[in-house]
Amino acid sequence: MTRSSTDPLYAFDPEIELTLRRIRKNRNTIVNTSSNSDSIQPGQMENNDRTLKELATPDVVYQPWCIQYPQLEPAQTYKLKSSLIHLLPKFHGLAREDPYKHLKEFHVVCSTMRPQGILEDYIKMKAFPFSLDGAAKDCLYLQPALFNTWGDMKRTFLEKFFLASRTTTIRKEICGIRQHTGETLHEY
């Protein structure tokens, strides 16, 4: 034992393998007697032979996708074209950006690329993640809610990026009109 170590020294065990099996057997019998029939048995559990690095790595397979697209007719298929993706305006989620302006520009681009028989809301839901960048895209993917319609997605986007404080400031500017000295009522 080193001077800096506070762990106690254990006695030498010449039959370490037998001792380990005995401890595991005792532990399994305790677990089996204390568990009820509804609990998960060791045979039902996942393969736990993964390394620590694998356990610490996020598993993208099990992360839920927050967008549920509307169902198309069986004969209909639609793939986003790269030309549409390149035309989309980018929203980064910065304080100086206007989310309403972004949605207007986004609507203009999506309405020009609508093929026959495909709903415009479907195209918007498919294209919207490509119009976001940085913190805005992170917020979209980390949403706990599931988006079923374009309206849900748009409402959540506006709630997130058009802050209540900004709404209050605009409301105060509208309601708090001030007449300056020498200014007549009809001038403002």
Return the percentage of the chain with pLDDT > 90, whole number.
7
On whether residue 55 sits in a domain, the answer given is: no
On whether residue 26 sits in a domain, the answer given is: no
On whether residue 31 sits in a domain, the answer given is: no
First to last CA, the chain: 86
Q: What whole-number distance in Å separates Cα of residue 160 and Cα of residue 93?
A: 9
CA-nearest of 129, 131, 119 to 78 is 119
- In total, how many domains does the chain have? 1
Per-residue pLDDT tens over the stretch 27-43 = 877 766 655 544 555 55
On whether residue 24 sits in a domain, the answer given is: no
Per-residue pLDDT tens over the stretch 85-103 = 889 999 988 878 888 899 9
Model pTM above 0.75: no
Range of the domain at 151: 82-173
On whether residue 169 sits in a domain, the answer given is: yes
Q: What whole-number distance in Å separates Cα of residue 154 and Cα of residue 102?
A: 11
On whether residue 77 sits in a domain, the answer given is: no
Per-residue pLDDT tens over the stretch 73-83 = 766 777 778 88
On whether residue 72 sits in a domain, the answer given is: no
Angle formed by the axes of helices 150-161 and 120-131, to 10°? 30
pLDDT value of position 110:
87
On whether residue 184 sits in a domain, the answer given is: no
